[in-house]
Chains A and B, each alone.
Chain A
Amino acid sequence: MIIEIGHFSVVVAWVLTLLGIGSSIAALRSRNADWVRVGRIAVTLTFVLLFVGMATLVYAFLMRDFSVLYVANNSNSKLPFFYTVAAVWGGHEGSLLLWAFILSSFSTLAVWLHWRTQPTIMPYLIAVESAVMLGFLSLIVFLSSPFARLVPTPLDGKDLNPLLQDPAMVMHPPMLYMGYVGFSIPFSFAMAALFSGRLGEEWIKVTQRWTIFAWLCLTTGILLGGYWAYYELGWGGYWGWDPVENASFMPWLVGTAYLHSVLVQEKRKMFKVWNLLLIIVTFSLSLIGTFLVRSGVLTSVHTFATDPERGLYILIFITTIIGTAFGALIIQSKKLKSQIEMDSFISRESVFLFNNLFFLVAAATVFLGTLYPLMVETLQGGKVTVGPPYYNAVFMPIALGLLFLMGIGPYIPWRKASASNLKKNFLVPLIAGLVTVVLLLVSGIHSLYALAGGFVVGFSGSAIFLDFGKISKLYANREHVNLFKGFLKAFSANQRRYSSLVTHIGVLILVIGIIASTIYQTEKVVSMKVGDTFSIADYEMKLLNIHEVEGKNWTAQEGVFEVTQDNEVITKLRPQKRVYTASQSPTTESAIHAINMGHIFLTMPDVSADGVAVARGVINPLILWVWGGGGIMGLGVLLNIFRPRRREE
């Protein structure tokens, strides 16, 4: 009975989105503010109803109500409580509902938050948000309802895919969707600007926090996915250029380009068409990302069942949204000519221009590599794939270029830089970069990418730290406080700028981690019996014993490995080979020991009947910098979002 309430709520919500669109159009035609209020009620009620929908589905999972098809397919009587909730978005239908729910919470929040300050934008905002919502709710109501019953009721559920029974997987999809959906707010404001003809900088300023919030969620989602792949899939890497990873990476790349290029419009009123184009592309790629994952056109660990009808529907929906957006942009683009043009080639404007160029080429590369196989298949019927070596070869130079620009952009003046200015700002960083290269060479590192990476990290890192040092000293002297307090005062006086630089530092740390753990990873696969030892790097791993362990919904063979270095015991690692009871599907659970900012990573993928175990050891140097850098990036964004409001904003 409960689940039918959920179903009914979502159907009513679908009707209300129609009302939202209708009332907004009526408001624009009649110029009667009452219609906007009707729209606001529709949006708010949609949120309430979808909340009810989500709640009934969560309830069905908690009650383990296997008479609901979706629950039966994604849960089991022995599934631990924690994962029972995560199972709500463990499959196609539930994750769509989550998408719609997040969208409606964001649009409701946006409507109430900007109601007073942006009255003229409201009807457009409500219309665009409702249109996107309509697309998703139609998909849920007509093609993939999570509320369908299963007759007869099975005794037990099929269980959640064991690979998804993991803490990182609980948070990964919601974060990713919050990122995708978050970009719908700046997108809606951009559409409002286009349709209303109010094409100034206001829509950018109003949505600045929304944009970086969406970016933070998307970044966190991507990193969580990488972290999950790292220890759950057991291959010791965190990024495989899988089509679905690519699907989330494309909006990230263009979104990152966007949040840099809007700065140029804010400060210099340039790049107007460009910024509208970027946010349209970012949100389109978010939708395409969802389409690629949800339609099953891509073969990947993430995709669920294939359903051509669903795929076709999503394709039509996305084409409509993207087509309308681009149409509006083309019609309005004549009005959007910049009044100001660039003064000099050596200026901050041009650094931003190249930043965008690099990000877009990166996005285009991923787009080509991900969708080319689909094109070939449609046109020629053959099936083809693009391998990781391609992406790695293209991305290394692009990433290095971007990191180099990262050291220049914040320190080169707008309009035009003079020679003395360049010398003042970049001589020390240049030397620091070269010193880093020399130090790396001395310590025996000869890989070209590591050296190039060392140079740009040294250059950009020292530029940022010099800046922090200078400004701290300035404030300390002015306010007669110590250097640290001076730093805090300087930071809060210009928090938007300095929090961004914190994010940049996080990026540099992340990149050091990526370079080190990619180039200097060592791996060894051996078969061994109890009592045998194998060595990897300067560690010895001895297999002490293999025994059975039992979890709530799985049984496992656990190997106990003693790790020694120079005859000193460091730790014992216990990798497992699990079999999940309900689905009888095996998984390989890795065991990890953190040492010197890196990881000793061990899996035991196979144990044969006669006691021969296969062990895989991986040494990942500096991998903690990858996750630590990600954390610092997030901290920077949070400091940016929660900065004190200033008068001019």
Chain B
Amino acid sequence: MWSTGKKTSLILSILLVAGALGYLALGNFGENLVYFVTPSEVRAFSAEQAQKKIRVAGMVVKKSIKTQADPVGLTFELTDGEATIPVVFQGIPPDLFKEGQGAVAEGHWRSDKIFHSKMIMAKHSEDYMPIEMKRAGVELPKKDFMKTLSP
């Protein structure tokens, strides 16, 4: 059977391990959060906000994609219908990444007023609008929205 000392030492050690694991899980949680924003919000960023890694959701402006050979990548523009930002992307875009369709780019808004990204996500979407944008409050009627994208 238990003596009180044993019980205490067991409970203490469980708490210790649980505490260490809890710290591990929660300690740097905040730093690892990446926020979704729209191009309009990016345009309104303060210098401090620009420090953090973010994901920008928008539509790829038609005829804006230009490929780069070295390092392999591309440049394009991302819009939410109100504001447009230039993106420099280094890497390989996903197969579904196309002009006139929704995409999400992860990276930093630098002082050169260009969004530098190393990861892009594209989505199959029936109405060509990524869920992120709907959630970001971009609820333009589809037709009007498509109009803003045409050159």
Contact = CB atoms under 8 A, between A and B. Distances in A.
B10 A342 contact: yes
A341 interface: yes
A445 interface: no
A385 B34 contact: yes
A305 B123 CA distance: 12
A190 B3 CA distance: 32
A352 B37 CA distance: 45
Contact of B72 (A343, A354, A389, A614): A614
Nearest to B90: A525
Contacts of B124: 161, 585
Given A161-B124, A342-B2, A397 B92 contact: no
A399 to B, nearest CB: 12
A387 B96 contact: no
A179 to B, nearest CB: 25
Interface in B1-60: 1-2, 6, 9-10, 13-14, 17-18, 21-22, 24-26, 28-29, 32-36, 53, 55, 57
Contacts of B91: 525
A344 interface: yes
Nearest to A349: B10
Contact of A587 (B18, B95, B132): B95
A-side binding surface: helix, strand, loop or mixed? mixed
A384 interface: yes
Contacts of A603: 92
A152 interface: no
B97 to A, nearest CB: 10
Given A306-B131, A357-B17, A605 B92 contact: yes
A394 B131 contact: no
Contacts, number: 102
B126 interface: yes
A393 interface: yes
Given A305-B126, A306-B131, A342-B2, A390 B32 contact: yes
Interface string A333-368: 000000001111100001001100110010011001
Contacts of A605: 92-93, 95
Given A354-B17, A383-B36, A588-B95, A299 B126 contact: no
Nearest to B135: A383
Number of chain A interface residues as a range:
35 or more
A526 interface: yes
B71 interface: yes
B95 A585 contact: yes
Nearest to A614: B72
A365 B70 CA distance: 39
B67 interface: yes
Contact of A386 (B32, B92, B93): B32
B25 A357 contact: no
B21 A358 contact: yes
A377 interface: yes
B35 A299 contact: no
Interface in A374-432: 377, 382-387, 389-390, 393-394, 397-398
Nearest to B33: A384
B25 A364 contact: yes
Contacts of B114: none
A107 to B, nearest CB: 35
Contacts of B55: 385
A384 B36 contact: yes
A361 B28 contact: no
Q: Sorted from nearest, which 3 A-B pairs have the closest CB atoms? A: A390-B32, A383-B36, A361-B21
27 contacts: A299-B132, A341-B2, A342-B10, A344-B6, A345-B6, A345-B13, A353-B14, A354-B14, A354-B17, A364-B25, A368-B29, A377-B135, A385-B33, A386-B33, A390-B28, A390-B29, A393-B24, A393-B28, A394-B24, A397-B24, A398-B24, A525-B91, A525-B92, A527-B69, A585-B95, A605-B93, A606-B92
Given A372-B29, A383-B57, A608-B67, 8 more contacts: A161-B124, A345-B13, A350-B10, A361-B22, A368-B25, A372-B33, A606-B92, A612-B69
